[in-house]
Amino acid sequence: MLQIVKKWLVSVWRFFPVRLLVISFKRHQFLLIFWILLFLVVVGKAGASFGIPYLFLDPEYLEHVGYLSFALVGIGFGALFVTWNIVSYMLHSHRFHFLASFEAPLAMFFINNSIIPIVFIAAYLGNIIVFQAQFEFQNWKDLVFEIVGFIAGFILVILVTSIYFQFTNRTALKVAQANKMSARRKKFFKRLSQNEEMDPNSQWEVDSFISSSLSIRYTRTVEHYEDQLMKLVFRQHHINSLFAQIATIMLLIGIGYFAENPFFQIPTAASIFFIASILVSLTGVFIYWTGGWGTTAIIVFIVVANQLTKYDLLGYQSRAHGLNYQTKPAEYNLENLRRLSADSTIKKDIRNFTGILNNWKRNNTSKYSTKKPKLVLINASGGGSRAAMFTMAVLQEADSVLNGTLMRRTFMMSGASGGTFGLSYFRELYYRKQLGTIINLSDKNYSFKIARDLLNPMGISIVSNDLFFPIHKFKLGQYTYFRDRGYFFEKYLSENTDSSFNRRLIEYRKPEYAATIPLIIEHTLIINDSRRFYISPQPVSFLMRSSSEKSKNLDLSIDAIDFGAMFKEQDGYNLLFASAARMNATFPYILPNPVLPTEPPTYVMDGGAIDNFGAETTLRFLSTFKDWINENTSGVLILQIRDTQKEEEPEERTKSTFLENSIKPIGSMYSNLENIQDYVTDKDLTRLNDALNGKINVITFEYIPEKKTEKAALSLHLTFREKRDIIRALGRPNNTRSFELMRKMLTSDKVK
């Protein structure tokens, strides 16, 4: 029995695909580690909270999920499959001299090197069927079309690749007859280290392989071929493979010229596959050309490329559109910050804001009643498209409950990332209605528009532009900027929402001052020192520090900056509102961190990292104007719109491994960031409520999914099921109670 088992194990070991798998891992681990990571992200649960698997299981193209979208994903995976095999062939083909005797050696290698991709495809298609059937409620007919679409796209790439190599690759016999390769080409494509190829021990003994008919065949001897002839065959195949890779990369760069056309905005899943194939290709080429110096060469390349990105020539510094980067930059130092927050400046800005408050009071006071109005403030949490759609849906419902008076009653709105998208979109629609445009603010189509996909245009930008050297530019007014994924984010955020983000900050100054529309104050975190910029068309230096007489001896830090005042000479109020929204929503790695024209340069990121609800903005405003509020209003009503539940049951602590315990403190800090902000906000609210004689009321609207395990992902792409669940959340008991409480509190303030 032992002999039989031993014989079977030897047979398996000498089976070409199995040996190739094992040796590949031994020699070039990145090729297999890459597949493990891809499994975890696409098929596993890694990244599920950010909706990454859904991008692969529910790809969208031209606002539709179906045959065509899955076909494009199939093409993307086909490109990865081909690249994986070409790189493996370049690195390992010299170990299998018997391949040179075949009519199509590369095809034979593809077949025998496809175990991992085939397992991946099987798992991937199985997950698609489960997801589409159980979560998107697709019927079997649609499921079949989607699976066929993926397979058709995959096969198309294989066919194109086969045709290319059919006409370019040659067998040993043809090479022997021609042998025309020039000395220059030989030298150019020669690896830096060929000792391994010359070493007879580098050959792997193979007894059997899978043939083109998918049957197991035994290898035949190639001793009658000269070693030099074998090398020429493989070298010629390597050259053709390199040309194919270069042509593919050039094609992707060329697509960048047409990236604004929706036809070229392929599903994000396809873009991810293309990015993966490029990374595998570049890494493989480095290893092939440098031989044993592959790892060192890759490290050197990364270091040099990283240093080059510091220069504007390469366009890697994303910019805020509308600002002037050609003039002298603003000084970012303590002296300038103290000047911007001088007592005289703060008092002047407070007088300006008091004028806005008086205009708001006049618009909300009935000449038939002496009752003071209630000041309404709205805070909305960050959370990508999930927060944007929920915020928009809540505003629509609240406005309907209040018979279209929500925006007139609201003085100021603030929030983070997705929440501010919803606030800004609804305010712009209301403003247009005030200007005479016929708009039904209750139309649910607006909630679906704000949740339209934003990842596809950014994905194709990364593949065709950002991954290489951004060379595409665009002109906005008199200034020119690079067209990176930040540009595409702004462009399609605006296009998805009826051009609602195309105004400049300055365009909102007059209607805000007249209290025709509520104020919106954006904020963004400065990476350099964790201060924040407050972005508003109104001067807001009083948000930079406390100007109270009682706090003068406390030596308080200046932890915020009035954006418009800081960049007065750099056209700060000319900032595109879409850029203000992007700076507030610059989630790391998804969007590029904009650099602002200061000396030294300042970089900004998602404002939600320091204030995910806009609560700090509200607290500073209330603290500054508490005397006016006490004298002129009947109280303050804060409407807090959250894409998460504020208070949840504590998580049960389970037994953990050493590794889990090692990373848990860091993970806990990140996962509890919102809780920490809530605790601090509640303490400050308590203090302010005392100063306002108990006049503050808070009503919370929360997105609570129907099933906790099926919560909409924190992403810029939502599935149809997720969108439907967000809309349905308005009718759940927690929110119906909040709408009713809001109606009762504000009905008595109704202007006749």
Single-letter amino acid code for the residue at 201: N
pLDDT higher than threshold 70 for residue 267: yes
Question: Which among 18, 6, 11, 23 has a CA at the least distance from the CA of 207?
Answer: 11
Q: Which amino acid is at 120?
A: F
Lowest mean pLDDT among 95-99, 107-111, 128-132, 370-374: 95-99
Q: pTM of this prediction?
A: 0.80
User: What's the rounded mean pLDDT across residues 706-714?
Assistant: 77
Q: Is the dihedral of CA 553, 558, 563, 569 positive or negative?
A: positive
Amino acid at 331: E
Poorest-pLDDT segment among 101-105, 282-286, 445-449, 688-692: 101-105
Contact in structure between 65 and 59 (CB atoms under 8 Å): yes
Share of the chain above pLDDT 70, in %: 65
**In the prediction, which pLDDT does 349 show?**
94
Q: What are phi and psi of 534, to 5 degrees?
A: -100, 120
Of 122-136, 309-323, 426-440, 489-503, which range is least confident?
A: 309-323
Taking residues 16-41, what's their average pLDDT? 54
Task: Please give the Cα distance from 321 to 576 (Å, whole number).
Answer: 6
pLDDT in tens, 304-336: 665 655 555 554 678 999 999 999 999 999 999
Say which residues have a Cβ less than 8 Å from residue 508's Cβ, sequence separation at least 6: 517, 520, 537, 577
Say if domain 330-363+373-646+668-746 classifies as CATH 3.40.1090: yes
CB 322 within 8 A of CB 567: no
Closest CA to 715 of 44, 40, 48: 48
Give the residue extent of every domain in the chain. 2-308, 330-363+373-646+668-746
Task: Give the H/E segment covering residue 697.
Answer: strand 696-702
Mean pLDDT of the 687-707 span: 87
Residue 726 pLDDT greater than 70, yes or no: yes
Tell me how many degrees the CA angle 669-672-675 measures, rounded to the nearest 5.
Answer: 135
- Supply angle C-alpha 56, 61, 64, rounded to 5: 100
What is the chain's mean pLDDT, rounded?
A: 77
pLDDT band, residue 43 (cuts 50/70/90): low
User: 600 pLDDT exceeds 80?
Assistant: yes
Residue with tokens 């008076």: 405
With a cut of 90, say whether residue 24 has pLDDT above it: no
* DSSP tally for the chain: helices H, then strands E: 31, 15
Average of per-residue pLDDT across 27-44: 56
**507: confidence class by pLDDT, cuts 50, 70, 90:** very high
Concatenated DSSP letters of 538-580: S--GGGTS---GGGGGG-----EEEHHHHTGGGTGGG-BHHHH
Residue 298, pLDDT score: 65
Query: What pLDDT, on a 0 to 100 scale, did the predictor assign at position 177?
Result: 45
pLDDT of residue 73: 87
So what's the pLDDT on residue 288? 66
What confidence score (pLDDT) does residue 192 get? Answer: 41
pLDDT digits (tens, 9 = 90+) for 380-412: 998 888 999 999 999 999 999 999 999 999 999
Mean predicted confidence (pLDDT) in 117-143:
78
Helix then strand then coil, in percent of the chain rounded to 5, is: 60, 10, 30
Percent of the chain with pLDDT over 90: 30
Query: 29: how many CB neighbours lie within 10 A of its CB?
Result: 10
Dump pLDDT digits (tens) for 527-575: 888 889 999 999 999 998 866 555 565 556 788 999 999 999 999 999 9
Q: Which residues pair with 599 in a beta bridge?
A: 331
* Whether 155 contacts 147, CB under 8 Å: no
**Average pLDDT, integer, range 248-271:** 71
**What's the pLDDT tens digit per position in 565-585?**
999 999 999 999 999 999 998
Residue 188 is predicted with a pLDDT of 43
* Res. 424: pLDDT tops 60: yes
Residue 123 has pLDDT above 90, yes or no: no
Residue written as token pair 């204030």:
611
pLDDT, position 261:
72
Query: What's the average model confidence in pLDDT over 3-28?
Result: 53
pLDDT over threshold 60, residue 636: yes
Q: What does the block give as tokens for 290?
A: 């440098």
